[in-house]
């Protein structure tokens, strides 16, 4: 009987649905300095260029100049080939302020490179790559999975003011169609993996793409980690609760909903992050809870 149970357990693990890398906590656990080689492979495909050196920023908080300034947390921030700063962001929920948000991230990333007294010429190129799980209104007439945005002259649109600022937006809903047109398209392959590693397409991709195969193995390890599985579940549930309220037209209802009991999942996420030793500022931005609430939770955990 013991062997039969073990076989069943093994089968359950094999059939278990893998966590989706597009969930931010899974994405951040997969692409980081501890998984340098797969992170490098992923970013090389995103940039379509060879990476000689890559430095991953472990402290992903965007610096606040004043206490009241908004804090941002980057999903994946890198210094590539010592010449450009890259921020890769995952956005699952469609928000009316999406464009403003990525502009804020980009400009903060650009300005924080130098301090008072340093020369502007030391500023490196900054690029924000936003991977979004929805179709943009601005690109609805375009078939391309990826669009690239720069500062151009409006009358002479081929004239670019500078190469130092660039935004790339990749729409996951368009990835499958792109893959159907060209199954050798590595960027489309990676996007299908980010979207859903359980899909039949990804199973086929793994036969040819060793890097994605390695990533699937890593995701299996994350899936078998009960703490990570719970964290991903709570993070996704909190996102869906917030999205549900927003879809109903209650923009302010998100905050009210949290106050009236919706924050149970967010509190659980905060506790897990505290146990992992994450910085308070990071937890505040990820969960939306107040700093004082995080401090109180920290005290209860450490008692």
* Residue of 77, 29, 80 whose CA lies nearest to 54: 80
Planar angle of CA 135, 136, 139, nearest 5 degrees = 105
Neighbours of 60 (CB within 10 A): 18
Orientation of helix 226-247 relative to helix 210-223, angle to 10°: 90
Q: What is the torsional sign of CA 160, 145, 223, 51?
A: negative
Digit-by-digit pLDDT tens for the chain (303 residues) are 334 344 544 444 456 799 999 998 899 999 998 999 999 999 999 999 999 999 987 655 433 344 333 334 458 889 999 899 999 999 988 888 899 999 999 998 999 898 888 999 999 999 999 999 999 989 989 999 999 999 999 999 999 999 999 999 999 999 999 999 999 999 999 999 999 999 999 999 999 999 999 999 999 999 999 888 888 888 888 777 766 655 554 445 445 544 545 566 778 778 878 887 777 877 887 777 888 888 888 887 765
pLDDT at 245: 59
pLDDT at 71: 35
The model's pTM: 0.74
- Alpha-carbon torsion, ordered 29, 35, 37, 41, to 10 deg: 0
Q: CB–CB of 182/188 below 8 Å?
A: yes
pLDDT at 2: 36
* Residue of 194, 139, 195 whose CA lies nearest to 167: 139
Nearest-angstrom CA–CA distance, 154 and 184: 35
pLDDT at 302: 62
What tokens were used for 295? 């401090």
Cα separations in angstroms, 268 against 95, 233, 237, 284, 297? 24, 10, 11, 13, 10
pLDDT at 58: 67
Orientation of helix 291-302 relative to helix 280-287, angle to 10°: 120
The terminus-to-terminus CA distance of the chain in angstroms comes to 43
């Amino acid at each position: 009987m013991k062997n039969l149970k073990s076989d069943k357990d093994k089968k359950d693990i094999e059939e278990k649905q893998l966590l989706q890398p597009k969930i931010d906590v899974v994405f951040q656990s997969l692409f980081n300095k501890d998984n340098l080689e797969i992170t490098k492979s992923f970013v090389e495909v995103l940039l379509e260029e060879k990476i000689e050196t890559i430095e991953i920023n472990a402290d992903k908080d965007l610096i606040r100049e004043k206490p009241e300034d908004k804090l941002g947390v980057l999903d994946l921030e890198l210094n590539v080939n010592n010449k450009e700063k890259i921020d890769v962001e995952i956005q699952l929920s469609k928000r009316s302020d999406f464009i403003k948000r990525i502009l804020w991230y980009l400009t903060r990333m650009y300005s924080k490179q130098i301090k008072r007294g340093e020369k502007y010429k030391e500023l490196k190129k900054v690029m924000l790559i936003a991977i979004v799980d929805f179709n943009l209104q601005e690109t609805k007439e375009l078939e391309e999975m990826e669009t690239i945005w720069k500062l151009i002259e409006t009358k002479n649109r081929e004239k670019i003011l500078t190469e130092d600022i660039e935004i790339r937006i990749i729409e996951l809903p368009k990835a499958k169609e792109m893959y159907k047109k060209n199954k050798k398209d590595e960027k489309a392959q990676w996007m299908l993996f980010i979207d859903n590693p359980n899909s039949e397409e990804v199973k086929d991709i793994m036969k040819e793409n060793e890097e994605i195969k390695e990533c699937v193995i890593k995701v299996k390890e994350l899936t078998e980690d009960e703490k990570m599985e719970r964290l991903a579940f709570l993070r996704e549930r909190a996102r869906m609760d917030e999205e549900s309220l927003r879809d109903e037209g209650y923009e302010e209802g998100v905050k009210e909903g949290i106050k009236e009991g919706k924050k149970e999942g967010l509190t659980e996420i905060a506790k897990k992050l505290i146990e992992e030793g994450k910085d308070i500022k990071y937890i505040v931005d990820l969960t939306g809870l107040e700093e004082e609430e995080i401090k109180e939770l920290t005290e209860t955990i450490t008692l």
